[in-house]
Amino acid sequence: MNKIIIITGASRGIGAATAKRAAAQGYAVCVNYLKQQKAAEKIVAEILSDGGKAIAVSADISNESDVVRMFETVDVQLGTVSALVNNAGILQKQMRVDEMSAERLNRIFSVNITGFFLCARQAVKRMSTRYGGSGGAIVNVSSAASRLGSAGEYVDYAASKGAIDTLTTGLSQEVASEMIRVNAVRPGFIYTDIHANGGEPDRVDRIKTAIPMQRGGQPEEVANAIMWLLSDAASYVTGTFIDAAGGR
């Protein structure tokens, strides 16, 4: 089976690290991005310079037509997808629930929940033996926030990741007999620029002493967990969660 992977939100952070790992392991990579075109093209250029195969595709995963177009682009330019990493996600400025607007909530949920469902749907339609596919694997990037709640900071983000945990469990059972495995990684406090979007770029350094391992994690450490779940080494693993959170 051809190794073709779509990684959403792959222009930076965990997504970018996963794209590089996947390319090194022989995957043709779709680097999805929303606004960071130059960053996405840089990832693609690095993969190509190392002898790999990659394309950058802009798509807002909360937009159904964008998701359909992205998968159709991969069909034409790379081939039928065999692995999906649902990674793209957003958070907004830290605040309490009693300060959150409906606009904020709807935006968080449309990307972090609806976007994952839409991408999973398109992947299943290509991978599933029910539709004539040859199987595949999906890894959802959840968060330790789904277990911890993120009180006073991002309860909406945490709730969206709780929904992704449920998606992982339910979808894994739906498609297990159709040669598709569905698992999730729950990163904890990782050094990525998503924290700047919440108004605290140094958040990991503030929190790290409360982590049993006494440090924040690196994107590459999460990428390693993702790639293991996609690999044949995890061939009997589905509906499972790997917590990459330093012991939290």
Whole-number Å distance between alpha carbons of 83 and 99: 39
**Helix, strand, or coil (residue 228):** helix
Phi-psi region of 84 (alpha: psi -120 to 50; beta: other; left: phi over 0): beta
Q: Which of 33, 157, 191, 236 is catalytic?
A: 157
Whole-number Å distance between alpha carbons of 112 and 146: 12
Instruction: Tell me, yes or no, if 154 is annotated catalytic.
Output: no
- Of 149, 241, 150, nearest in space to 187 by CA: 241
DSSP symbol at 239: S
Structure tokens at 142: 């959840």
Active site residues: 157
